[in-house]
Structure 1
Amino acid sequence: MSKEAQFSTDKFRLDGKVAIITGGASGLGFNYTKAMLISGAKVVIASYDEKGWDETSKFAKSVNGEVKFIKIDVTAKEAPDIIVNAALSKFQKIDILVNNAGMQRRNNSVPI
């Protein structure tokens, strides 16, 4: 068995689906992206960090997948509208959302 996780995609097909994944080019988000691409989904990655974009592009090509990158701070007030509009402009629909991007704060969060 290879070091890469083996995915069984016969029961988990996402052909024709469009997924938005925040932070989808690194860490756990990259694994979400790979699973979606292997399963046939088109993926929109929203991230402020371009690290991992080249590797993600190469992986997408290797599985005949399609990925769109959006460089954006997903915590910005206008980010949701920008991400949704970019996804709709490229793929005309959105089926899946994975809110993966994370951050660490050393102070208290704002109370809700």
Structure 2
Amino acid sequence: MVGDSGKVYGGCNIENASYGATNCAERTAIFSGVAAGETHFKAILITGNTDGPIAPCGICRQVIAEFFDQDAPVYLTNQKGAFAETTVAGILPGAFVELK
């Protein structure tokens, strides 16, 4: 994930026996950026060990929508080289976001 500052932030899944307390890689990366002072991000790449390009869960889609412009690129990949490109609006049309 790339912040407006140009700095790249990574994340990983943080699993928990209580599944509701698990934190996905996308949110870990965003929260790491926010903790470092970023408030807005330019692009995000999501990857996983899946058969096809991996997509973020619903909670992550909402968090992404709140920290990226709706036309920001979202790159969906996997460890086998599959690739798809979309936008924040493409992964969560009609997102609940503050209107500017």
Q: TM-score range by the shorter chain?
A: under 0.3
Q: TM-score, normalised by structure 2?
A: 0.28
Q: TM-score, normalised by structure 1?
A: 0.26
The structure with the larger Rg is 1
Between the two structures, name the one with larger relative contact order (CA 8 Å, sep ≥ 6). 1
